[in-house]
Amino acid sequence: MGTIWVVLIAIVALIAGVALGFFIARKYMMNYLKKNPPINEQMLRTLMMQMGQKPSQKKINQMMRAMNNQQK
């Protein structure tokens, strides 16, 4: 009878740990994305200029649309 309680407590502790870990990781990622937003048009323009390309607004819009579609 004692072994059953030990196993039951271990399983409950494991489930609680996984749930708690999930919510802590979710909160951390939300705060991280709030402080460090994903790439925006200005970052994309700078990146293209560093690669030696002259970015046009049409090209920037096209790349932003492609990245937004990829995230969904």
Does this model's pTM top 0.75? no
* Amino acid in the structure at residue 10: A
| Buried/exposed code over 34-61 (b: 16+ C-beta within 10 A; e: otherwise) | eeeeeeeeeebbeebeeeeeebeeeeee
Tokens of 34: 């709030």
Residue at token pair 């708690």? 20
Structure confidence by residue, pLDDT tens digits, 30-62: 999 888 878 888 888 998 999 998 888 999 999
